[in-house]
A and B are shown apart, each in its own frame.
Chain A
Amino acid sequence: MDRNRLRNQVASMRRSLFDQGYLDDQFIQLEELQDDTNPNFVEEIVTLFYNDSARLIQNIEQALNSSPIDFCKLDDYMHQFKGSSSSIGAKKVTNECTAFREYCNAENAEGSFQQVKQEYAILKRKLEVYLQTVRQASQTA
């Protein structure tokens, strides 16, 4: 009974992540790469993404706080951040990265990095809850 409820929860959370545009087809690619020989692939790669993103966000904020701003370095970090979010199918985060990069290219860092951070924080929270529910559903007998 519990298992079915959890499974339904997983399915509806997943659907909503896609419907609301947080995730795109690339995330499905990740799911398809998970199998019995690699049962935790999605969680593993998403965890790598969290760690990598934390590092990049720190670097980017440092770059933004320095005077003068090294736009070349900033663009490099944003390229990396955009790349990794695209690789895991984080659609909204990728789009925010693209938008912020436009500002950086115009050497106008007024474009708020806060928006990128915010979008990332939302995704991270949703993914954590979703993956936790997936784990629970698979553990319930």
Chain B
Amino acid sequence: MGMAIDRDDTQFHVLAVDDSLIDRKLIERLLKTSSFQVTAVDSGSKALEFLGLNNNDAADDEEDEQRDSNTESVSSDEDQDHQDLGLGVNLIITDYCMPGMTGYDLLKKIKKSSSFKDIPVVIMSSENIPSRINRCLEDGAEEFFLKPVQLSDVNKLRPHLMKGRSKDIDSSHKPTSTRLITSGN
């Protein structure tokens, strides 16, 4: 096992989005019980704000992507700022039915964002509508939970987070040193 894994980096930070006060309290407790760090907000726009994206930024990211595909320049500083503002969010779990911006709208905006498109997004809904579920999964949601969400659902989140975490570790080490560290194990 590499040295990096011994850090207490199993504390994942989940951003929970739900307009219902009761459901926010519930999801917060479910996540904290499962040792996640939680930030709970009551709307999609507050979620984007927390991440450091406002609606304008989401559109700007699209323009950036257009520009980047034409030139070699990468706006990595801006990305880092966004990541820092987002305070290391590892997963977003959002209600589907919310006034203003739905969970689906939020999913689309996250997936369009160059800074945040790799953050796993999970959608929750009290309504079991297959076409809705399929659309969310097809458009990038990792999971779809039917409400009321239970501990068994929250336990399904860790694999998605571990996937993202191991990507971070690999990308932060030069290839040779990683091989050296793991070769003894």
Complex Cα distance, B29 from A43, in Å, reads 14
Mask: chain B, 9-50; 1 = CB below 8 Å from A; 0 = not = 000000000001111011001100100000000000000000
Mark out the residues of chain B between 69 and 87 whose CB falls within 8 Å of any chain A CB in the assembled complex: none
Residues of A close to B151: CB separation below 8 A: 29, 32-33
Contact between B26 and A87, CB atoms less than 8 A apart: yes
The listed residue (A29, A32, A79, A88) touching B22 by CB distance below 8 A is: A88
The listed residue (B22, B30, B97) touching A52 by CB distance below 8 A is: B22
* Residue of B with least CB distance to A33: B29
Contact between A84 and B30, CB atoms less than 8 A apart: no
If A32-B151, A79-B97 touch, whether A84 touches B23 (CB-CB below 8 Å) is yes
Residues of B close to A89: CB separation below 8 A: 148
Contact between A82 and B126, CB atoms less than 8 A apart: yes
If A41-B29, A82-B126 touch, whether A87 touches B148 (CB-CB below 8 Å) is yes
Query: Nearest chain A CB to B68's CB is how many angstroms away?
Result: 41
Complex Cα distance, B150 from A133, in Å, reads 27
Complex Cα distance, B24 from A44, in Å, reads 13
Mark out the residues of chain B between 104 and 131 whose CB falls within 8 Å of any chain A CB in the assembled complex: 126
If A32-B151, A41-B29 touch, whether A87 touches B22 (CB-CB below 8 Å) is yes
Q: Is A66 an interface residue (CB 8 A)?
A: no
Q: Is B147 an interface residue (CB 8 A)?
A: yes
Contact between B21 and A33, CB atoms less than 8 A apart: no
Query: Nearest chain A CB to B75's CB is how many angstroms away?
Result: 40
Q: Give the interface of B toward A (CB within 8 A).
A: 20-23, 25-26, 29-30, 33, 97, 126, 147-148, 150-151
* Besides A49-B22, A79-B126, 20 other A-B contacts (C-beta < 8 A): A26-B148, A29-B150, A33-B33, A41-B29, A45-B26, A48-B25, A52-B20, A52-B21, A52-B22, A82-B126, A83-B20, A83-B22, A86-B126, A86-B147, A87-B20, A87-B22, A87-B23, A87-B26, A87-B147, A89-B148
A and B contact pairs by CB, cutoff 8 A, 27 listed = A30-B26, A33-B29, A33-B30, A33-B33, A33-B151, A38-B29, A44-B25, A45-B25, A45-B29, A48-B21, A49-B22, A52-B20, A52-B21, A52-B22, A79-B126, A82-B126, A83-B20, A83-B23, A83-B147, A84-B20, A84-B23, A86-B147, A86-B148, A87-B22, A87-B148, A88-B22, A89-B148
